[in-house]
């Protein structure tokens, strides 16, 4: 497994245990998943997608309280309603955790497909390499695209390219994401060139 700063594994195991306790399925995305599927890079936070919409906020707040996490917004309900994100901080480590609420069938399916990695006696769910690529391509920032290249370099031949192309085509129906099928084809061609 790739390098991960020592503070993260115990915290990830604790978060997993607590979210299981309140009945919330989830998967890690962002920098933590890049460390698993891509290349080593500095990450100072934890991003996770929940298999629940904002109506699950009370359960997430219960989990935060049990974990000793401090929600960051002053108006938690308003912030979650507007952004579908609850940012919180672990006061012990100063690590930020973003709880991202999901409402789409794609996100729910991606959570069901999550890869489980044993950490601190818990099976912690991470986005698959394919779903991480799709999340990063959808976000489209320069850092996200660098992360995608790292994942493809590491896992290129083992990736389910049909899955990637199918979802890229579906996401292309969203205004501003029309280029996703071309991006995925370009990545597939680059991966073939590595073999």
Q: What is the pLDDT of residues 149-177, one digit of tens each?
A: 999 998 878 999 999 999 999 999 999 99
Q: What string of DSSP letters covers 17-29?
A: HHHHHTT--EEEE
Structure tokens that stand for 17 in this block? 């245990």
Half-sphere exposure of 115 (CA within 13 A, CB side): 15
Ordered domains of the chain (ranges, CATH)? 8-127 (3.30.460.40), 133-194 (no CATH)
Residue 129 exposed, middle or buried by CB count within 10 Å (0-12, 13-18, 19+): buried
What pLDDT does 39 receive? 72
Q: What is the dihedral of CA 76, 19, 33, 5, to 10 degrees?
A: 90
Mean pLDDT of 7-34: 91
Q: Is the pLDDT reported for residue 195 higher than 70?
A: no
Helix 129-139 / helix 142-155 crossing angle, nearest 10 deg:
160
pTM of the model: 0.89
């Amino acid at each position: 497994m790739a390098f991960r700063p020592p503070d993260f594994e115990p915290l990830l195991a604790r978060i997993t245990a607590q979210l299981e306790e309140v009945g919330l399925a989830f998967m890690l995305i962002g920098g933590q998943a890049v460390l698993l599927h891509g290349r080593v890079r500095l990450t100072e936070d934890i991003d996770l997608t929940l298999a629940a919409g904002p109506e699950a906020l009370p359960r997430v707040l219960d989990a935060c309280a049990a974990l000793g996490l401090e929600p960051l917004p002053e108006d938690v309900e308003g912030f979650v309603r507007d952004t579908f994100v609850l940012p919180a901080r672990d006061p012990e480590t100063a690590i930020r955790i973003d709880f991202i609420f999901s409402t789409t069938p794609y996100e729910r399916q991606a959570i069901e497909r999550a890869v489980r990695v044993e950490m601190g006696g818990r099976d912690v769910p991470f986005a698959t390499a394919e779903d991480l690529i799709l999340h990063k391509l959808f976000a489209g920032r320069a850092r996200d695209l660098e992360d995608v290249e790292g994942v493809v370099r590491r896992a290129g031949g083992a990736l389910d390219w049909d899955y990637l192309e199918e979802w890229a085509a579906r996401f292309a129906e969203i205004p501003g994401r029309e280029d996703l099928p071309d991006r995925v084809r370009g990545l597939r061609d680059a991966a073939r060139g590595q073999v």
